[in-house]
Amino acid sequence: MPFPEIDESRLRKSCEEQVDLLHLPHRFSTRELREAIAALRGKPIILKPLSTLDAVEAPCGIRVETPSADLLYYEEGTSVHHQRHILTHELCHVFCDHPGSLQVDADTAQALGVNPTLTSSCMVGGETPSP
């Protein structure tokens, strides 16, 4: 559904200009997308599998931003295709520099294996459906 207050042609042009900064070929992999975004941001994007299948309404993907790296957690207990979908979704949040939706408390940071003093925010992706 288009946004009534946005000129779609200007929005499209702006988006195309941003995507052109990645210098990606017409066909590219999730790995190539990650490498291009990391190069543009000047810091690595580290992928970390996370098992949330036993948790009800757990996120499928989590992005944690630190000054030295972006950490992308993805559900390890799902299909490779779904993992790529989760990672592409989270990579687009990184590329668009979307702010995190949650502050990371010490317990959450510890559960993710991250130093809580280094995290600035956390963005949580789609949830695993309830059984």
**What letter represents residue 101's amino acid?**
S
Note whether residue 18 is domain-resident. Answer: yes
Query: What does the pLDDT look like over 55-65, one tens digit per residue?
Result: 556 667 888 88
Note whether residue 2 is domain-resident. Answer: no
- Tell me what the mean pLDDT of segment 32-46 comes to: 97
Average pLDDT, the chain: 79
The answer to whether residues 52 and 75 touch, using CB atoms and an 8 Å cutoff, is yes
Q: Looking at 2-6, 75-79, 95-99, which range is the least confident one?
A: 2-6
Chain centroid to Cα 107, Å, comes to: 21
Predicted confidence at residue 130, as pLDDT, reads: 39
Is residue 21 pLDDT above 50, yes or no? yes
Note whether residue 52 is domain-resident. Answer: yes
Alpha-carbon gap, residue 98 to 106, rounded angstroms: 22
Is residue 122 pLDDT above 60, yes or no? no
* Unique residue bearing structure tokens 């490498």: 35
Instruction: Tell me, yes or no, if the pTM score tops 0.75.
Output: no
Domain extent at residue 120: 8-124
Predicted confidence at residue 38, as pLDDT, reads: 98
How crowded is residue 31: how many other Cβ atoms within 10 Å of its Cβ? Answer: 11
Alpha-carbon gap, residue 77 to 4, rounded angstroms: 40
Based on the number of CB atoms within 10 Å of its own CB, is 26 exposed (0-12), middle (13-18) or buried (19 or more)? exposed
Domain count for the chain: 1
* Unique residue bearing structure tokens 């580290």: 46
Note whether residue 129 is domain-resident. Answer: no
Predicted confidence at residue 75, as pLDDT, reads: 87
Give residue 128's pLDDT band: very low, low, confident or very high (50, 70, 90).
Answer: very low
- Tell me what the mean pLDDT of segment 96-113 comes to: 66
3-state helix, strand, coil in the chain (%, to 5): 35, 20, 45
